[in-house]
Chain A
Amino acid sequence: QLQLQESGSGLVKPSQTLSLTCAVSGGSISSGDYSWSWIRQPPGKGLEWIGYIYHSGSTYYNLSLKSRVTMSVDKSKNQFSLRLSSVTAADTAVYYCARVVIVVANRWFDPWGQGTLVTVSS
């Protein structure tokens, strides 16, 4: 059974860069027909898709965050990462990683990691 586990800095200062990693177990990150995504949820609010990355390294980012987001994949470690630059308090959220299932042009998230809270504060 595929499992995903987020890790990284839980407290980031304003204007700095948020860095998170998602470790994938129970399957290979290089499997076809999947990509790997980050989603966030500010406290008490809804879900926001951040972007996804293929094992080839190709990426798609939410246009509202594109200028600050970088995703990468490390196939040797079976993990993928998120970097979000120039953070502000508005970036405080629970960050989830998830596998993106791809069937033709259709994409959905399954499964999800448990999420990790990142707080932006000085």
Chain B
Amino acid sequence: SYELTQPPSVSVSPGQTARITCSGDALSKQYAYWYQQKSGQAPVLVIYKDSERPSGIPERFSGSSSGTTVTLTISGVQAEDEADYYCQSADSTGSYLVFGGGAKLTVL
């Protein structure tokens, strides 16, 4: 089996930088993807292939990778960024997909 581990919660004040990590053995071989899920809404892709940002996603969202850990960074956090964030990757074949447990970002 393969798992992705995220911290359950991250808290930052407005204007600060939030960093949300995701770790797992698969990440040394597979890309990671990040989704933002606001309360009562469907998830939205914010980062793909570790560090690429889809069109329409603010520049304050960025991603990075190092070994078996990937990090979603939100610079200059705004109140509207308060949400659950999920990482996603795949097994070594790329065919079987998995989500991390999610991290709740609280903007103080």
For the complex, is B108 an interface residue (Cβ under 8 Å from A)?
no
Contact flags (1/0) for A55-85 with B, using CB distance below 8 Å? 0000010110000000000000000000000
Contact across chains for B44 and A107 when beta carbons are under 8 A apart? no
Q: Inter-chain contact count A-B, CB under 8 Å?
A: 61
Q: Which of A49, A101, A114 has the most CB of B within 10 A?
A: A49
CA distance A47 to B64 in the complex (A): 22
Chain A residues near B100: list those with CB within 8 A. Answer: 46
A108 near B88: Cβ-Cβ < 8 Å: yes
B66: which A residues are within 8 A, CB to CB? none
Cβ–Cβ contact A48 & B99, under 8 A: yes
B residues in contact with A108, CB < 8 Å: 33, 45, 48-49, 88
Write out the residue numbers on chain A whose beta carbons fall within 8 Å of the beta carbon of B31: 106
Binds A, one of B11-19, B20-28, B70-78, B89-97: B89-97
Residue pairs across A and B with Cβ atoms less than 8 A apart, 13 shown, are A46-B100, A48-B99, A105-B94, A106-B31, A106-B49, A106-B90, A107-B94, A108-B49, A109-B33, A109-B45, A111-B45, A112-B44, A115-B42
